[in-house]
Structure 1
């Protein structure tokens, strides 16, 4: 009875002095504060729902990562602005704390969240702890894996999709400049130089103009062919690698060569030339530029049809997005980069060209031989190796005879006569070697005696050793071999008219270490698309390939390891490192 009277007295006193609001309900701590944690894309979000008339002190917040490593996270710098209450910084209502995900580790995470608050009645709750467990993926590894999964040409495609126009055009210009050093562009140097040397009244300014026109026409051709290939999947350059186009273009070079030898002069009829001369020299000048432009346009389409990573990247971008404007601009700037060395060489040919006289006949003869060499190089795409070597042999032996190598030297002759005869002898001997190679099965003009040198060494092995590549003729045949293989499968797309393919053949696939790795640990398959037939185009289209060279690798499940696809030339060291990565992923 005495306790009941005491309680009534105390409550009445508190109410009388206003210490307790009749509307305030004293709730237990688990209902006063309800903390929660959410994992979002780039942050960890901690929310605390508070009951009415309760608050939390700013100074008591603490966040500690317990696992995988113990560390305290400075949560206070991520707290929102507090309010002032009873001289303290506090939070009321619902509190949200957003903490960058980088503050935490990766994998399975455990954190401890500490907080303390009071009720407006004046009752304070004891310090509270809340344990949260969640998971954060290792985004750095995902990004690395994602970047690893992009092959060379797909990385370039990504550049087109993400970078500014200025960066894209500058990048592709640089790509083009590097491509100027590849075998696909080399034949254009003698072609342009021959056009300049064969022109009349040539000077530095005119040579520069000829070079620029040639390069611009070449760039336009690359751009048109690239955009068409990207939009429709049809490689115009590859389509022109048929016997008719190659023979016709080779015939043009033979005709130009014979003209330089002085057999005839290519030009307009005399009556037309007289009328043009009467009007102005400008018309004649324009006529010459038109011929240079035509030659530049055709050279791009027929002489250099190889596919390189930047070209493939641009074609994939055009095919995926349909953005022919940006893709075409990238291809055009890439072609300009390829043409810069051509402009330098062409301008130099005009500047340092000998003055009219006897020297000019010799210079014309030299470029006539070069033009014949280009014609043979083109015909070698469709002719058997033995006939190609025979033509090279005839060219070098004929040049030696033209240099009067087999004739005697007059007494007290000029030193240049001796030099010319020495060069002629080298040409003659080399021509004999080429002739021998054409009858012994050699295929490389740079090593015509290879078969004779290695015949004794490989006689015993040749009967036991299979060819390095197994030829496939159809997609069904390839699928069957892929399914039954217990080794990583490599598929090589090649063509006889592809200069980079020949470079791979003569340098990379001829390397003993590469051969040993392919024979022992890979099933090396090859598809020859020289004919560019309907079946060849369908086969390439299945893998999104616009033209050779392209080398694909396949895993245990028969899926291509896309990030390791090779487009263009790789030297033996680079190729071996890719083979090692294929083996690692195959395990």
Structure 2
């Protein structure tokens, strides 16, 4: 069972992706009246680059052919023959062994409809098929066309009167929309985030070096290259090439996530707030931590290592590449848990998760590769390396405690999004206190694990590190109080927000501020009080949102502006477990013709953000007045000074109007 966990992780991401609503295809629809009882329904599909939509004439036993049908329950009209298609292309498929027929870039489908009941108010057709690139996904779209006997609406905006009314509520009549293009986009924050996760990966790689699976390999491998080569220069070159291949191998591990992300750029951000994925990460990280404690080993199939080792006997570049791949496989029991944490951290961070994962993997591989190149260049340094021993297992156990602490962050995400009220802020901090006290006791020799060597005396480093960990546990204790002496700002984003507490709070808004959770209610309050609106697109599982609230909003000058001069409207875009009232649920027909079911508050506010502000990241802040005039360029994750100046400028513009 341990062998399959790493593969199950990737499978889970693919499975959740398959449930998303977005397709790499944009639809437009129109209808032409041919006679009193006949119409041509015209469906135009624009495909993303390199994607194929398969024709209704695609051979049986190959990719799914296009199919146009009348939805079940719809009567009064019928399809006339097969649809007429625009130009298609043909290509032999090695997979199916058949010549496939498909559309590339663009498809125009014209289907004739015959009306049998002239009293029907509209007609609806559904289309089924498959689009493929490196991966394939199923499509299922429905298009509705009103019939009024005289005028045919060619562009369909809504399905029915109910959804038309509610959809208009989502679409704001914004003014000064040119400011939306000049705001602080996520580019700067994303660049900083990429660098941060590169550093995180690099640190992870350094920690992996200090484990029993990797550390003993350094002198053996370097000696092999430097002593077994025909010349010293050749040995150094081979060792450096070996390091380059290590970096390349870990970079390649992130490629599948770019393929997923290419289907829909926001998919990995979307699934990062999924309750069950976060629970899975919690379980897998606990599983990893127990392996670091020494209760069992997580390994890839031994046959993999044997095959790669045999392949490494081939000379030249290919042999060196397979030597690097062998290292990656045989060291998996130590590197796998760290890589799993890196994947989880990438999905939970603002920005493009696929690129962040690549940055983290590159940092990880670079840290692993550096010693092999460094010691090849300066072989005399090998003698300075500490001897292998019990300290390597100690490093693994310390990593196990850190993995366990990190695991509860993902359980907390599920608790917040699901509104379970189980892991309140003080409970979360209490669990961390227990974990880090346990780590301190381990370092002081009071706790033993299966693979620990007999501890004759405590080293200076072990005592010092134990004292540091014990001090950190003490630092956490005030976080469990009702009125803490300090707010743990150094950990902002990890524990649940301060208002998610076991103690009774003045409000369920950040920092005890007054806020509205509905846009129209907040807008009405802004009009009555004659104050500008701070529209806060946030999320329960948004780490950078918590950092902004606890590090920037808490600044006295910023807090005063928020409390006295603005109406705060906080809209949680990941609130997908809290259903809208039945009467407020509806089907939203997007511009591309596909349907999005608006059932939860998260559905509503995430759609609201995208259609009005053309942005899907959080935190995202907009200043506007009750007449929907945008007062300043939108702002995202930033520092105290920038945010304060931004609020002051918005207030100044509000007073001018």
Residue 65 of structure 1: aligned partner: none
Q: Does 1:385 align with 2:425?
A: yes
Change (3 A) 1:261 1:338: closer
Deviation of 1:500 (Å): 1.6
Q: Could you tell me which residue of structure 1 aligns to residue 291 of structure 2?
A: 259
| Change in CA separation of 1:207 and 1:376 when aligned onto 2, cut-off 3 Å | farther
1:570 equivalent in structure 2: 638
1:398 alignment partner in structure 2: 438
Give 1:541's aligned residue: 610
State the SS of the aligned residue for 2:264: helix
- 1:262 and 1:294 mapped to 2: Cα distance? 13
The one of 228, 239, 244 equivalent to 2:264 is 228
Corresponding position of 1:151: 182
Output the CA distance in 2 between the equivalents of 1:446 and 1:208: 36
Q: Residue by residue, what CA displacement relative to the aligned partner does 1:366-418 show, whole Å, maximum 9, x if unpaired?
A: 322332233233333333212221221112100111112669xxxxx97x624
Looking at structure 1, the residues matched to 252 and 301 of structure 2 have their Cα atoms a distance apart, in angstroms, of 29
Unaligned runs of 5+ in 1: 1-144, 157-171, 312-330, 408-412, 449-453, 455-460
In the superposition, the TM-score normalised over structure 2's length comes to 0.48
Q: Which has the larger radius of gyration?
A: 1
| 1:185 to partner: Cα distance | 6.4
The verdict on how the C-alpha distance between 1:268 and 1:345 changes in structure 2, with shifts beyond 3 A counting, is closer
Per-residue CA shift, 1:63-109, capped at 9, x if unaligned?
A: xxxxxxxxxxxxxxxxxxxxxxxxxxxxxxxxxxxxxxxxxxxxxxx
Structure 2 distance, partners of 1:363, 1:208, is 26
8 Å CA contact retained: 2:272, 2:347:
no
Compared CA separation, residues 254 and 538, structure 1 to 2 (3 A): same
The answer as to 2:564 corresponding to 1:524 is no
Q: Displacement of 1:177 after TM fit? A: 5.2
What is the aligned partner in structure 2 of residue 506 from structure 1?
A: 550
Matches within 5 A, 1:343-422: 343-348=365-370, 356-382=388-414, 383-404=423-444, 417-422=459-464
Assess, with a 3 A threshold, how the Cα gap between structure 1 residues 345 and 285 changes in structure 2: closer, same or farther.
Answer: closer
Q: Equivalent residue for 2:502?
A: none
Compared with structure 1, are the counterparts of its residues 482 and 339 closer, same or farther at alpha carbon in structure 2 (3 Å cutoff)? Answer: farther
Measured in 1, the distance between the counterparts of 2:281 and 2:268 equals 16
- Cα contact 2:405–2:435 (8 A) shared by 1: yes
- Alpha-carbon separation, structure 2, partners of 1:534 and 1:511: 32
Aligned length: 379
Is 1:434 equivalent to 2:466 in the alignment?
Answer: no
Distance change in 2, residues 1:295/1:424 (3 Å): closer
Alignment of 1:132-531 (within 5 A): 150-152=181-183, 178-182=192-196, 188-189=201-202, 191-193=204-206, 197-198=210-211, 199-200=213-214, 202-203=217-218, 209-218=245-254, 221=257, 224-225=260-261, 228-229=264-265, 235-268=267-300, 272=303, 276=307, 279=310, 282=322, 284-285=326-327, 287=329, 299-300=342-343, 303-308=346-351, 341-348=363-370, 356-382=388-414, 383-404=423-444, 417-435=459-477, 437-438=479-480, 440=482, 444=488, 446=490, 468-531=512-575
Alpha-carbon distance in 1 for matches of 2:652, 2:424? 40
SS in 2 for 1:564: coil
**Relative to 1, partners in 2 of residues 1:483 and 1:299: Cα closer, same or farther, differing over 3 Å?**
farther
User: Does the 8 A contact of 2:299 with 2:332 survive in 1?
Assistant: no
- Alpha-carbon offset, residue 425 of structure 1: 3.2
After TM superposition, the score normalised by the length of structure 1 is 0.53
The 8 Å contact of residues 219 and 335 in structure 1, kept in 2 or not, is answered as no
Secondary structure in 2 matching 1:356? coil
Aligned mates of 2:246, 2:561 — CA distance in 1: 48
2:250 and 2:362 in contact (8 A); partners too? no
Give distance in 2, aligned partners of 1:368 and 1:466.
33
SS at match of 2:547: helix
Q: CA RMSD in A?
A: 4.5
Q: Give the distance between the partners of 1:398 and 1:298, measured in 2 at CA.
A: 21
Deviation for aligned residue 1:189: 4.8
1:553 corresponds to which residue?
A: 623
Contact 1:554–1:560 under 8 Å retained in 2:
yes
Q: Is the 8 A contact 1:188 1:303 kept in 2?
A: no
